[in-house]
Structure 1
């Protein structure tokens, strides 16, 4: 499913990829149907020129569909990628080492039918969201298994106590100096 937009580094492998569910285009289809209904009603009740709306009615549905099929989410063994855009392309890459936390969310229908979103908190940048995907809990677990949000704190407890004692000694030394 990946296209030429995804440039992987040497040795990097794709672990998972998808796009949002197609039903995400439903609001655009509903707007298109409403515009078509308004055009037909306007042509019958007011003026035949309102029938032009029937010609324009498919545009919101087509745009909504193109937004869904042109959105891709990819997880590799090194990074997360999100590509979206109909006219232009918005490509976002986040290295797994910058992932601080992940969260999956599901509404009532999402819990019943197995879809939802994964929100990824990124150190030093905007958060990333994989919206309206199947099995969001499994995707979140996979991200964490690959290293996002699960890095251990380096060092032992004794080493960190030694650092704390050294910092306290420095602080006491600085407090004793005249200002």
Structure 2
């Protein structure tokens, strides 16, 4: 699943988006249920008691699910071939970024409703930083596998599955350096 990326997410021109998503819309259902309950309670309470005092909860019953919906739409998760991004906020935005090479471990979880309806959360342990979580996403197992594959290769998702050494040079060059250092040490000891 790939959707349009919010401009607040600072993608590099060389990055390619592998996946993007948002939390499931169904996660606002508890807020909708509470909102409907407040709405009905306010109207019924005002009619039954013949006082407009109970109507004070009606705006809260309407505002709660609307606020939850906009808060949910303000969250976007993006996986590129180089990094993970979490964007939060509608009016004020914050973006958290973690390079794939800093992902040390990942886990996913599903509660009972997530198991039934196919959504869950994925948490990534980041070296030298806080954990990063993608919450209430579709198919968390596949997202975890996607990031795990990408984190295992130095060149991201397009890699050949080989992790190259972080040490510059090859074995022959290092043997030549060793021989040169031995020669220098030998001449100094004479």
* Residue 149 of structure 2 is aligned to residue 141 of structure 1: no
Shift of 1:35: 1.5
List alignment gaps of at least 5 residues for structure 2.
Answer: 155-161, 167-190
Kept in 2, the 8 Å contact 1:101–1:149? The answer is no
Shift of 1:3: 2.1
Shift of 1:149: 9.4
* Residue 64 of structure 2 is aligned to residue 64 of structure 1: no
**RMSD in angstroms over aligned alpha carbons?**
2.3
1:9-158 matches, cutoff 5 A = 9-46=12-49, 47-147=51-151
Cα distance in 2, alignment partners of residues 149 and 68 from structure 1? 32
Q: How many pairs does the alignment contain?
A: 155
Cα distance in 1, alignment partners of residues 143 and 153 from structure 2? 13
What per-residue deviation string (whole Å, max 9, x for no partner) do you get for residues 68-108 of structure 1?
11110000000000011233212111111111101111223
Kept in 1, the 8 Å contact 2:104–2:124? The answer is yes
List alignment gaps of at least 5 residues for structure 1.
Answer: 156-179
4+ residue stretches of structure 1 with deviation over 3 A? 148-155
What per-residue deviation string (whole Å, max 9, x for no partner) do you get for residues 19-55 of structure 1?
0100111122122112112211321233223223223
Aligned residue for 2:91, secondary structure, equals: coil
